[in-house]
A and B are shown apart, each in its own frame.
Chain A
């Protein structure tokens, strides 16, 4: 158990819908990262937050957005869902952005768009 929690574990929804994925980082971790794992694209970085502020953006679609709240939990919002958005979405957390601190991954949320 990494200490990072993600809810829900599984999510099945229809095209065009909107969903919210939630992540609670390990206690004391300020930095949260979102990654998408799909068969086509592999594991790719979406977005990073540090202590409530956006720090870096990767290959995140405009239909996707995220935020980190004062209690440091983070939410990833996916809208106008398409079949290709079906993937495993990971959240990872670390103390800060420094390399010396390991990124601890949550168990992931499996999103299926039908």
Chain B
């Protein structure tokens, strides 16, 4: 069974600085998809960024980028120029490729605090 591990329960960053959140996963599949979701205090789950495993190029969305290391099964999220609104729980998630089952498998999450 696939598993997703986030080893940092909490992280803190100074406003305007850069922070990296770690995620590792375990799978025997060769094709899959990885996601980072943000959950602010409102509890809404918001997709931040996604990565297709067959793509070697790391995904980027504005201030958010990932470092995808397929061989190491590592998928970290880098937030640049951190803003107060980035404070939230961040969840790493995995989805297998193919088939009719599209469910996400989530890590336990990392709580990010942003200091002014």
Contacts and interface: CB of A to CB of B under 8 A. Distances in A.
Binding partners A and B:
yes
Contact of A98 (B42, B102, B107): B102
Which range contains the number of B residues in contact with the other chain?
20 to 34
Given A42-B109, A43-B91, A99-B33, A56 B103 contact: yes
Interface in A63-112: 88, 90, 92, 94, 96-99, 102-103, 105, 107-108
Nearest to A2: B44
A31 interface: yes
Interface in A10-54: 31, 33, 35, 42-45, 48, 50
B101 A108 contact: no
A50 B25 CA distance: 27
Contact of B104 (A31, A45, A50, A98): A45
Contact of B102 (A2, A35, A43, A103): A103
Nearest to B95: A99
Majority SS of interface residues in chain A? strand
Contacts of A44: 106
Contacts, number: 57
B16 interface: no
A43 B43 contact: no
Interface in B54-96: 91, 95
Nearest to B45: A105
Q: Considering the complex of A and B, which 3 residue pairs feature the smallest CB-CB distances, nearest first?
A: A97-B102, A105-B45, A56-B101
Interface of A: 2, 31, 33, 35, 42-45, 48, 50, 55-56, 58, 88, 90, 92, 94, 96-99, 102-103, 105, 107-108
22 contacts: A31-B102, A33-B102, A35-B104, A43-B91, A45-B103, A48-B102, A48-B103, A50-B100, A55-B102, A88-B43, A90-B45, A94-B102, A96-B102, A97-B102, A98-B102, A99-B52, A99-B97, A99-B102, A102-B47, A103-B104, A105-B45, A108-B44
